[in-house]
Chains A and B, each alone.
Chain A
Amino acid sequence: EIVLTQSPTTMAASPGEKVTLNCLASSSVSYMNWYQQKSGASPKLWIYGTSNLASGVPNRFSGSGSGTSYSLTISSMEAEDVATYYCLQLSSYPLTFGSGTKLEIK
C-alpha cells in the first residue's frame, strides 16, 4: 500500500500570501489528484493528473510534482480557500488518500 504523507497538517496564511501544500508518497506514483473539502461538505475534485485544474477552480491554484513528491500551490491566498485539502494516488490499488492539510486564514 502506498502511504501518502501530507504536510503541514495545519497552516494559516494571510490574504495574498503564497501557500504550498505537500504530499509525499512512500513509493513512486504516476500522478496525483487533489480534493478540497469545506466544513460540512463533500470533497470536490480540485486538481487532477498532477497539474490540471478542475472546472471552476481559480487559476491562482496550481499543481506539480513527480515520483514521490507532489504539491499544490496557491499563488495568492484568499478567504474562500479556507478548507482541508487531500491528495489521492491512483497509481495502484488500494487507492490511498493523504491525511489532509487544513488551511486557515490569518
Chain B
Amino acid sequence: QVTLKESGPGILQPSQTLSLTCSFSGFSLSTYGMCVGWIRQSSGKGLEWLANIWWNDDKYYNPSLKNRLTISKDTSNNQAFLKITNMDTADTATYYCARRSTEGILFDYWGQGVMVTVSS
C-alpha cells in the first residue's frame, strides 16, 4: 500500500526558510524510474508544480521560484525533502508531495498535504 505524508512547521515568518518532509511507504526512491515531486496550492487557487527528484538523484525545479528551491532525499528512511528559502506571504499554501510510479504514471499517489502559513 502506497502512502505519503507531508510534515512541516505550520507557520513561519517572512524571509525564513521552509523545510518540508515527505515520509512515504509502499515504494522505494532507490527503485529505477521512481520519482517524488512537490506541488503546492494556495487557498482557493490552482496547483503549482515545484520540484521533482528521481531515483538516480536527478532534480528538476520550477524556474518561477528561481534559486529558492532545494529538493533532496533519504532513501534509507523513505523520505524526500524540500527547502524553500526567503519565504514570503505569497508562499502561504498547502504543500503536497506525490510520486511517479515505475510504470511512468506521474503523481499517481498524493499525500494529504501540509498547510504552511507565512506571517509576521
Contact = CB atoms under 8 A, between A and B. Distances in A.
Interface stretch (B14-22, B56-64, B82-90): B56-64
Q: Chain B contact residues (Cβ within 8 angstroms of A): what range?
A: 20 to 34
B113 A94 contact: no
A94 B37 CA distance: 12
Interface string A67-94: 0000000000000000000101010011
Nearest to A94: B62
B47 A43 contact: yes
A54 B110 CA distance: 13
B46 A98 contact: yes
Nearest to B47: A97
B60 A97 contact: no
Interface of B: 37, 39, 46-49, 52, 60-64, 96, 105-113
Interface of A: 1, 33, 35, 42-45, 48-49, 54, 86, 88, 90, 93-100
Given A42-B112, A93-B60, A94-B62, A86 B47 contact: yes
Contact of A45 (B62, B64, B108): B108
A105 B63 CA distance: 38
Most A Cβ at <10 Å: residue of B52, B61, B108, B111: B108
B110 A97 contact: no
B108 A54 contact: yes
